[in-house]
Amino acid sequence: MTGEEDFDRRIEPFRTELLEYCYRMLGSAHDAEDLVQDTYLRAWRAREQYDDTRSSLRTWLYRIATNVCLTALEVRGHRPLPSGLVAASDPLGPLVRGEHAWLQPLPDALLDAGDPAVAVIDRSSLRLAFAAALQHLSARQRGALVLRDVLGFSAAEAAEVLGTTVVSVNSSLQRARTRLKEVEVRQEGVSEPSAAEQRAWVERYMRAFELADVEGLKRLLTEDVLMEMPPMLNWFSGRGNYGLFMEWVFEAAGKDWLLQEVAANGGQPGFAAYQRVGGGYRLHTLQIFTVTAEGISRNSVFQSPEVFAAFGLPAGLDAQGLPHVGGDA
């Protein structure tokens, strides 16, 4: 094995965790994939400069990834969700499109199982609600919080990764924690039921959705359920408002749908909804759910071609649920 092949073999196991890191920093699966590729290209070019007596290979790779992310954030800025940007709206009011770069879900298909212990510890840090909360932080606060509180780097290691001092890292970390408290981040991961129980809740929701059964949908929701739907600025909370909106959806878009299960952000269940159009079904939305022991507490609804592409969703299905080529769908 050549030195180059050995280097490739040594850095490859870190690819998935670096993808997760870049996603937390940028809030976009597409951007995260691009930045990981950039990280690996830079690492390969600088492979002769790596000194294992000064830092671990993992820390060295994270420093490269962090520099890539910080540079990208200078250009791309933050990616909010509507609930973190504007006041709640009337569920029957007109839909208003916002011209923003929105937070996007991360397809579970991009992740591998990795170390089961790490997966359990780190699970909630990929959730959409936490990813949205990170958007309220500055780039360096975000980096300090993720490195220290999510990934478990020491203050000294985080300082090396961020190219700063331990004092600066601790200051950024304290400010980040304070800011997250101010935006009232709900620790949804604490009360999560098992993955099987979450999927069961969503499967019941899917059956009610396919029947256009609004009352059935409402019975599966928590009292303070939140729905938002980027790129629209509209969002609202409460079981009653949710029901009003779904009544409007079925009235406006019809009651004939095909649904396909998906999973995102480290285990959040969801589905792609295909609306009947002519002789087939057209991709309408991707919906990702937060499920608690009391029911579905959040539905994040996406309607973006970039998000659809990240999940590999066909634009249309035929009546048998197979990818549709041409025609009305």
Q: What is the pLDDT of residues 219-264, one digit of tens each?
A: 999 999 999 999 999 999 999 999 999 999 999 999 999 999 999 9
Q: Flag residues of the chain having pLDDT under 50.
A: 115-121, 187-189, 327-329
Domain ranges of the chain: 3-79+106-188, 193-317
- Hey, what's the torsion of the CAs at 76, 131, 205, 294, to 10 degrees? -160
164 within 8 A of 273, measured Cβ to Cβ: no
* Separation of CA 119 from chain center: 16
Q: Which amino acid is at 273?
A: A
* Residue environment code for 229-257, b if the CB has 16+ CB neighbours within 10 A, otherwise e: bbbbbbbbbbbebbbbbbeebbeebeeeb
147 within 8 A of 59, measured Cβ to Cβ: no
Total-model pTM: 0.92
Q: What is the pLDDT of residue 39?
A: 98
Q: Which amino acid is at 197?
A: E
User: What CATH fold (topology level) applies to the domain 3-79+106-188?
Assistant: Butyryl-CoA Dehydrogenase, subunit A; domain 3 (1.20.140)
Instruction: Write phi, then psi, for 100 (nearest 5 degrees).
Output: -135, 160
The C-alpha atoms of residue 168 and residue 164 are separated, in whole angstroms, by: 7
Q: What is the pLDDT of residue 121?
A: 47
CATH of 193-317 among 1.25.40.10, 1.10.238.10, 3.30.70.20, 3.10.450.50? 3.10.450.50
The C-alpha atoms of residue 54 and residue 62 are separated, in whole angstroms, by: 14
Q: What is the pLDDT of residue 1?
A: 58
